[in-house]
Amino acid sequence: MTVSGHKLIGALLAICLLAGCEDTTFQSSVPAYTVHVVIDTRIGDFVHFQPSSLGSHIIVDETGYYYDGKFLKARDVTDYYGYAGVIVYVPVIPPATGEPYCAHDLACPDCAKKQLRRQCQIEGMRAVCPECHEQYDLSFGIGNPLQGISKEAMRPLQVRNQGGKLTITQKR
């Protein structure tokens, strides 16, 4: 093969490699409202929210904290609960990160695209949008859509676990 043939192959390879590169940063349709929730699983009503409680969850919204549907306490003025509320939960199968807790904004991404703020309702290990009826699977800590209505997962949030004190914030 000639030098010009090698250059041609090299140029084609470079084009193919560049064409395959894309921004893989997750961009959610759910607006990035401030999230700051602290749950201390060592005290009070939160002591039952342990990594061994598979499928259990805490929801924080404008009215307060709910553990598996039961009202626990009012929201504090220092709590920020995202666009449509926050769900912190123990997935049935923990994600690869090894962290036993996961969290998402409860807003339906499909409705958020349409400028609608809809809080998904929790049914077992699914978050269900009351508007478009999309269902999001929480079993694996990902929040993937199940019906195909939405083309994106729920907005993931960061959970920092410091000896049982959970701090939930936006992902950086």
| Model pLDDT, residue 137 | 97
What is the chain's pLDDT, residue by residue, as a tens digit (172 residues)? 554 554 544 443 343 333 333 334 557 999 999 999 999 999 999 999 999 999 999 999 999 999 999 999 999 999 999 999 999 999 998 888 788 999 999 999 999 999 999 999 999 999 999 999 999 999 999 999 999 999 999 999 999 999 999 999 998 7
* DSSP assignment of 1-33: --HHHHHHHHHHHHHHHHHH--------SS---
**Residue 22, domain member (yes or no):** no
Q: Residues near 126 by Cβ (< 8 Å), separated by ≥ 6? A: 135, 136, 137, 138, 146
Residue 126, H or E segment: strand 126-128
User: Which domain range does residue 100 map to?
Assistant: 28-170
**Residue 2, domain member (yes or no):** no
Written as one letter, the residue type at 168 is I
**Residue 154, domain member (yes or no):** yes
Give the pairing type, strands 144-145 and 135-137. antiparallel
| Domain total in the chain | 1
**Residue 21, domain member (yes or no):** no
**Residue 52, domain member (yes or no):** yes
Tokens of 128: 């269900």
CA distance 159 to 76: 19
Cα-to-chain-centroid distance, residue 62: 18
Q: Furthest-apart CA pair in the chain: how many Å?
A: 76
**pTM metric for this prediction:** 0.82
**Residue 20, domain member (yes or no):** no
Q: If DSSP codes are grouped into helix, strand and coil, which group holds residue 83?
A: coil
Q: What is the CATH number of the domain that holds 57?
A: 2.102.10.10
